[in-house]
Amino acid sequence: MKIVIAMLKHETNTFSPLPTPLESLGPDGEPLRGEAAYAHFKGTRIPMGAFIDLAEEIGAEIVIPIAARTAPSGPVAQAAFEQVTQVICDCVAEGCDALFLDLHGAMVTDDYEDGEGELLERIRKAAPDIPIGVGLDFHANMSARMVRNCDVAVGYKTYPHMDMYEAGWRAGELLLDMIAGKIAPRLSFANCPVMPNILRQATDEAPMKDIMARATALETGSVLAVSVFPGFPLADTPHTRLSVLTVTDGSEGEGDKVCHELLDLAWTRREEFIYENESFIDGVARAKKLDEGPVILLDMADNCNSGGTLDSMALVREALNQGLDNILAGPIYDPEAAAHLVNAGIGGEVTVPVGGKFDFTAIERPGEPLVLTGRVKTISDGRFIVQGPVFTGMQVDLGRTVVFDTGPMRIVVCEGRVEPLDLDMFRFVGLDPLGYKYIVLKSKIQYRPTFGAIAKHVVECNAVGVGSADFSQFPYKAVTRPIYPLDRDASFGDKR
Ligand SMILES: [Zn+2]
């Protein structure tokens, strides 16, 4: 048996100023292929890792034509999409017994609002009889076109994403069962006009905790897999919204029933998907009064795993202005400042503008660098392996990375963009997060199993960035209206 395994994984923030060219879709300036892709993803706890393990378990021949991924950013360059798609289509057209795909589900390209729908349709056209199984992110903005053009699809059930491997494994396993004639999978798909705030999507809290518990309970008998996708609201597309997808054995009616029950549940809980917060200036003032650290100042608006630039300095600036001390901050994506600091050498005293290199045109805010004076503490090549439990085993490459000591703050400045979701993000450069009163952390929910576990307090600060939790800042144009909560009078079926 010959199994093709491929990845084109991107969560697109259509408001992000960061470009997504082909060179960004792999660790060394191009997407990984063949042996290099195998070596990179074998052993990781993501769908690619699961697909490889599953194929090896049944003794299949594995072909990995291409594996392209990067942190969330603006729309994928059309040329990059065309090239990666062509490589996958050419490979399956040569003949294989199955295709396992590791996709996100909220990819937008320069020309296509439904990147995965276009990709899957082209693959189907290139090789109409090849069974296709897909692993999807919890934040997928699912489209009917995606569903029409694959045989099996399974999304993560957790946020923070703790079950990426399991979701991939389940998708692969169901596809193999189909090929063996043990099951006849049917997909059911439906959505409702709700755009949940990302800050209200954590699966260890209501309402998603209850919705996911019900989804899991419904996976019984002929219902083989139930995926609930709250969606990615920072991708402005017609299909951006909460949706449900089921895989059932044979009966479509059963799947439709499950979809509608879960959508009804989500709709009745819609008010709980709204996130409201104090101003970040008030948040910092509140943090200042807390006695015990570490206190996490959560810089959610600049979370790079929502498409943030990772270089917004608004929260750091405010913390310094209000006189906070013993601060750990970073990483900040600023290749120019990193190069300047590396050139100064360890011990070098430098005054340098840090961050603020990108203008946030979509939300009408210019980039605002923060001029800092301090001493270079540490210089590193920026490479380490994630300990987990989120993205366990993934190799991280921050590029040249510097610890810059400004007195009240130690700030990590680097050439790469990676969300700080692992304690080793600071430990690898000799910084122990436990030793600091305040940690300015650019994350939303994924930090919880690691930094959340060591924090005495978390102050959620919605400062400045294209990952903002405040929908009213964004000029939505493509999303299908009415949708809750942009339109508070939206209705679903006959329900208001
Ligand atoms: Zn996600």
Q: What percent of the chain has pLDDT over 90?
A: 95
312, pLDDT greater than 80:
yes
The two tokens of residue 232 are 């990615």
Q: What local confidence, expressed as pLDDT, does residue 306 receive?
A: 93
Give the distance (Å) from ligand 1 centre to CA of residue 77.
21
28, pLDDT greater than 90:
no
pLDDT digits (tens, 9 = 90+) for 145-183: 999 999 999 999 999 999 999 999 999 999 999 999 999
- Distance (Å, whole) CA 262 – CA 190: 10
Give the distance (Å) from ligand 1 centre to CA of residue 352.
34
Give the distance (Å) from ligand 1 centre to CA of residue 396.
18
Provide CB contacts within 8 A for 312, sequence distance 6+. Answer: 299, 301, 302, 355, 356, 360, 367, 463, 464, 465
Give the distance (Å) from ligand 1 centre to CA of residue 189.
19
295-299 and 457-461: which strand pairing? Answer: parallel
Give the distance (Å) from ligand 1 centre to CA of residue 108.
15
Q: What local confidence, expressed as pLDDT, does residue 39 receive?
A: 97
Q: What is the DSSP letter of 480?
A: P
Give the distance (Å) from ligand 1 centre to CA of residue 421.
13
Q: What local confidence, expressed as pLDDT, does residue 87 receive?
A: 98
Domains of the chain as residue ranges with CATH: 2-273 (3.40.50.2300), 280-468 (no CATH)
Provide CB contacts within 8 A for 427, sequence distance 6+. Answer: 433
Give the distance (Å) from ligand 1 centre to CA of residue 245.
16
Q: What local confidence, expressed as pLDDT, does residue 79 receive?
A: 98
Strand intervals (E) in 415-470: 438-441, 457-461
Give the distance (Å) from ligand 1 centre to CA of residue 322.
34
Give the distance (Å) from ligand 1 centre to CA of residue 441.
18
Give the distance (Å) from ligand 1 centre to CA of residue 161.
7
pLDDT digits (tens, 9 = 90+) for 440-450: 999 999 999 99
Give the distance (Å) from ligand 1 centre to CA of residue 394.
16
197, pLDDT greater than 70:
yes
Average pLDDT, the chain: 96
For residue 284, how far is the Cα from the chain centroid? 26
Give the distance (Å) from ligand 1 centre to CA of residue 361.
24
Give the distance (Å) from ligand 1 centre to CA of residue 36.
25
Rounded mean pLDDT, 6-25: 98
Confidence of residue 19 (pLDDT cuts 50, 70, 90): very high
Residues with CB under 5 A from ligand 1 (ion): 137-139
Q: What local confidence, expressed as pLDDT, does residue 496 receive?
A: 61
Strand intervals (E) in 110-250: 132-136, 152-155, 185-192, 223-229, 242-249
Rounded mean pLDDT, 460-467: 97
Give the distance (Å) from ligand 1 centre to CA of residue 484.
21
Q: What local confidence, expressed as pLDDT, does residue 454 receive?
A: 97
Give the distance (Å) from ligand 1 centre to CA of residue 443.
12
Give the distance (Å) from ligand 1 centre to CA of residue 137.
5
Give residue 184's identity as a one-letter amino acid code. A
Give the distance (Å) from ligand 1 centre to CA of residue 235.
12
Alpha helices in 127-188 (DSSP H): 144-148, 164-179
pLDDT digits (tens, 9 = 90+) for 84-143: 999 999 999 999 999 999 999 999 999 999 999 999 999 999 999 999 999 999 999 999
Give the distance (Å) from ligand 1 centre to CA of residue 146.
18
Confidence of residue 235 (pLDDT cuts 50, 70, 90): very high
Give the distance (Å) from ligand 1 centre to CA of residue 445.
10
Give the distance (Å) from ligand 1 centre to CA of residue 201.
10
Give the distance (Å) from ligand 1 centre to CA of residue 216.
19
Give the distance (Å) from ligand 1 centre to CA of residue 103.
11
pLDDT digits (tens, 9 = 90+) for 246-292: 999 987 799 999 999 999 999 999 999 999 999 999 999 999 999 99
User: Is residue 249 within 8 Å of 184, Cβ to Cβ?
Assistant: yes
User: Is residue 430 within 8 Å of 436, Cβ to Cβ?
Assistant: no
Provide CB contacts within 8 A for 404, sequence distance 6+. Answer: 341, 350, 354, 372, 374, 375, 376, 377, 410, 411, 412, 413
Rounded mean pLDDT, 309-333: 98
Confidence of residue 391 (pLDDT cuts 50, 70, 90): confident
Q: What local confidence, expressed as pLDDT, does residue 495 receive?
A: 67
The phi, psi pair for 159, rounded to 5°, reads: -145, 110
Q: What local confidence, expressed as pLDDT, does residue 267 receive?
A: 98
Give the distance (Å) from ligand 1 centre to CA of residue 114.
17
> DSSP for 208-227?
HHHHHHHHHHT--TTEEEEE
Q: What local confidence, expressed as pLDDT, does residue 393 receive?
A: 85
Q: Between 427 and 494, name the one with better pLDDT.
A: 427
